[in-house]
Amino acid sequence: TFSMKDELLARLLRAGGEPISGQQLANDFGVSRTAIWKHIQVLQEEGYILETVKKKGYVLKSAPDRMDAARIQTHLETERIGQVIHHFGSVDSTQILAHGFVRDGAADGTVVIAEEQTAGRGRMLRPWESTAGKGVWMTVILKPDIPPHQAPQFTLVAAVSIVNAMKALYPELEPEIKWPNDILLNGRKCTGILTEMVAEADRIQALLIGIGINVNQKIEDFPQELHTIATSISAELGREVDRAEFVAKVLYYLESYGDQYVKNGFSPIKALWEKASATIGRHVRATTLREVIEGVAVGITEAGVLEIKTASGEVKGVYSADIEL
Ligand code: BT5
């Protein structure tokens, strides 16, 4: 499922600065040395700095800030998610591409990831700002054996996964989840999740978990209207981070919590979610398509529904809404 360029890059990364001979590579891949050379040239065009050591072979000297499949895979600890990664430079939206891969029979765990999106979208077709080379813009295709009505819980599974990946790699951060699909750092949005589903009447064909995470942007990199509401991992940490390493960690937790959810139900995820929640116990204002509900968020149900206790003492369940804290 991997291109030869990916395999070649994986070999060069694994060699850790030691030369690998062109002849050896040619033998291993069953191609000519010229074919190897052509792929080396492609890597160079993409910004990989390679040196040819006489009689010894190719050495990778430095790598550009990109999330090629092989780069993510050197950090990957999963069994399914990310075994197939389609990496792109600039795309309209990874979500749109992922629908195409689903139609073509994509395997469970396929990842579609891009350096830049020109038409990234949030819920209800709102735009999602996806600066080139600075974030994680990806769609994970999952095929869990759950009924369609349980699909929305996967947004919460994804949120818990991202929070735990952030805590594992950057313990200084204190990510909080804002129901249903935002992750905040110091009160500002750094992540949005968009879960879509392709389903038959009683069976999920595929879930498309769209994940947008601001990673290495400076606040000035965001458009004006986001300056006061958005942030990135690096803006909060005060240093840049390795996006490929971070993506691998997100995929690791997504696989482990996703499997846990399918096997053991929602309660373990619900506990993790509530622990990281910025919403529970707070006064909130929920705008749904039909009404505005104000009150204290008291919890989420097994179905992932947010429960709000209004001033009159009545508890209302909210399936989908925009929340103001
Ligand atoms: C979301 O929507 O938060 C879901 C975003 C999902 C994006 C991913 S990226 C990979 C995949 N491919 C796609 O095309 N989409 C998914 P929503 O809750 O509707 O929030 C959208 C709102 O967030 C916008 O109206 C802006 O106010 C704000 N926003 C836009 N870009 C942002 C950014 N980069 N960081 C923080 N806030 C942003």
Question: In whole angstroms, how far apart are CA 298 and each of 1, 34, 302, 313?
Answer: 46, 65, 13, 11
**pLDDT tens-digit readout, 307-316:** 999 999 999 9
**Is 94's C-beta closer than 6 angstroms to any atom of ligand 1?**
yes
Nearest to 325 by CA among 197, 182, 219: 182
Residue 1, pLDDT score: 47
List the helix and strand counts (H, then E) for the chain.
9, 14
200 has pLDDT over 90: no
Average pLDDT over residues 268-273: 93
Structural domains in the chain, CATH included, are 4-62 (1.10.10.10), 69-275 (3.30.930.10), 283-324 (2.30.30.100)
Other C-beta atoms lying within 10 Å of the C-beta of residue 189: 17
**Is 295's C-beta closer than 6 angstroms to any atom of ligand 1?**
no
Q: Whose CA is nearest to atom 27 of ligand 1?
A: 226
Distance CA 42, CA 164 (A): 36
Other C-beta atoms lying within 10 Å of the C-beta of residue 204: 20
Q: Whose CA is nearest to atom 21 of ligand 1?
A: 122
pTM of the complete model: 0.95
Q: Among 102, 112, 115, 128, which residue has the most ligand 1 atoms within 8 Å of its CB, making it the best to mutate?
A: 128
117 has pLDDT over 70: yes
Residue 201, pLDDT score: 82
**pLDDT tens-digit readout, 51-92:** 999 999 999 999 999 999 999 999 999 999 999 999 999 999
**pLDDT tens-digit readout, 153-196:** 999 999 999 999 999 999 999 999 999 899 999 999 999 999 99
| ipTM higher than the 0.95 cut | yes
**Is 253's C-beta closer than 6 angstroms to any atom of ligand 1?**
no
Diameter over CA atoms, the chain: 81
3 has pLDDT over 90: no
**Is 180's C-beta closer than 6 angstroms to any atom of ligand 1?**
no
The count of residues in the chain is 325
Which residues neighbour 215 within 8 Å (Cβ) at sequence distance 6 or greater?
134, 135, 136, 232, 233, 234, 241, 243, 246
Q: Whose CA is nearest to atom 20 of ligand 1?
A: 122
Other C-beta atoms lying within 10 Å of the C-beta of residue 180: 25
What does the buried/exposed string (b/e) look like for 86-117 if buried means 16 or more CB atoms within 10 Å of the residue's CB? bbeeebebbbbbbbebbeeebebbbbbbbbbb
**pLDDT tens-digit readout, 120-135:** 999 988 999 999 999 9
CB 20 within 8 A of CB 57: yes
Residue 303, pLDDT score: 86
E strand or H helix that includes residue 167: helix 153-169
**Is 181's C-beta closer than 6 angstroms to any atom of ligand 1?**
yes
